[in-house]
Amino acid sequence: MLTLRYDYLQQASLNALFSNWMIRDPDAAQLALAKITDRGLRESTTHTAMQAYLLRHPREAFERIIELPKYVAYVYSDGSSINADPFAESDPSEEAEIIEVDEEDSNYPLPDRFCYTDRGGSHDRLELISEAAASLAILEGKAAWDRAAAIKNKNKRSAALGGALAGWLIFDLEEAASFAAAGIANHSFEDPGGPDFPNFAARLVSKNLAQRDFKQAIAWVEALPAGRLREAGIKTAADTRLDQALQIARKEASPDGWVNEKVFQKAQKREYAPVMEWLASLPPSKGRDDATYWLVHKLEDHDDPS
């Protein structure tokens, strides 16, 4: 008889089993998931199974995901906490208290922490909710936003709205951008999404617009009320275009990968002098010229860019 220990083999086996089970019989799969006695294993397996279900049935998966019970966290004596991690090198339960996390007891989450629409899959419960809302909005646009806004739990609602806006921008960029501009201007985003949501929306929309048309992005941002939200949108649009230009320049030049990563780390830290030096070393190309153009604009905003 094969006995699986609590390790990667056990986790991988359960992930495969329940991912397929959720797709074929979600009711039975969820009942079985609830019977996994190990808290960390149950949470991790549930997360993976729901992601698989989301790929096949986004509408049904969204409804199930927002109704999942409280998740598990380890809380240490200093007040810090982490989600249950079955791959941790040591068992956190030896030095921490295991509690059931109630999302209602904490403040609104900062939405962009949970909206990994361009950085791979989700890792915790609120990220999963955002991922599900984004998938739904890619199919339904504003209808997904309205569904997310109806969620009673404020933290789940905030995460879902962040994902819904991200997906809606893919579904219909102009419609979503216009809706976001109105929501920011009339302060209607703050009630359903939380006090940080307008800032998140300004940055998310300006990023998506800048990826397609920088002038359109700047026009959208400049129409916002003057203040920190407009400034955040302009900075995000400029950063987006510089990142894109650097990516293109890197692909065209194909220099050593280690150098590339160092250059990009410098750019992220706003240490632009080494980036300019790298661009100057590249052979002539449109990618190099575009990256240089956007970098010069960034340098104009800093007295000491290096």
The torsion angles phi and psi of 72, rounded to 5 degrees, stand at -105, 145
Domain hosting residue 187, numbered range: 108-225
Domain membership flag for residue 55: no
| 169, 199: one domain | yes
Q: Are 62 and 147 in contact (CB under 8 A)?
A: yes
Cα separation, 41 vs 38, in Å, equals 5
Domain membership flag for residue 57: no
| 246, 213: one domain | no
pLDDT in tens, 107-163: 555 455 545 445 455 667 888 899 999 999 999 999 999 999 999 988 889 889 999
CA dihedral 260, 266, 271, 277 (to 10 degrees): -10
Looking at residue 253, what is its pLDDT? 62
| 216, 281: one domain | no
| 169, 140: one domain | yes
Q: At 61, is the secondary structure helix, strand, or coil?
A: helix
Cα separation, 153 vs 157, in Å, equals 6
Q: Which of 191, 225, 259 is the last residue of a domain?
A: 225
Q: Could you identify the residue written with the tokens 């359903």?
A: 192
pTM for the whole structure: 0.71
| 113, 187: one domain | yes
Domain membership flag for residue 33: no
| 248, 143: one domain | no
Closest alpha carbon to 132 in 108, 156, 154: 156
Domain tally for the chain?
A: 2
| 209, 130: one domain | yes
Q: Which of 195, 225, 255 is the last residue of a domain?
A: 225
Beta bridge partners of 75: 81, 97
pLDDT in tens, 16-25: 999 999 999 9
Q: Does 271 have pLDDT greater than 90?
A: no
Domain membership flag for residue 41: no
Domain membership flag for residue 27: no
The torsion angles phi and psi of 22, rounded to 5 degrees, stand at -60, -40
| 294, 200: one domain | no
CA distances from 228 to 222, 232, 238, 259 (A): 12, 6, 15, 35
Q: Give the full edge-to-edge strand order of the sheet including 72-75.
A: 81-83, 72-75, 97-100
Q: Under 8 Å CB-to-CB from 275, ≥6 apart: which residues?
A: 246, 263, 266, 267, 295
Q: Which of 165, 196, 225 is the last residue of a domain?
A: 225
Beta bridge partners of 246: none
Domain membership flag for residue 153: yes
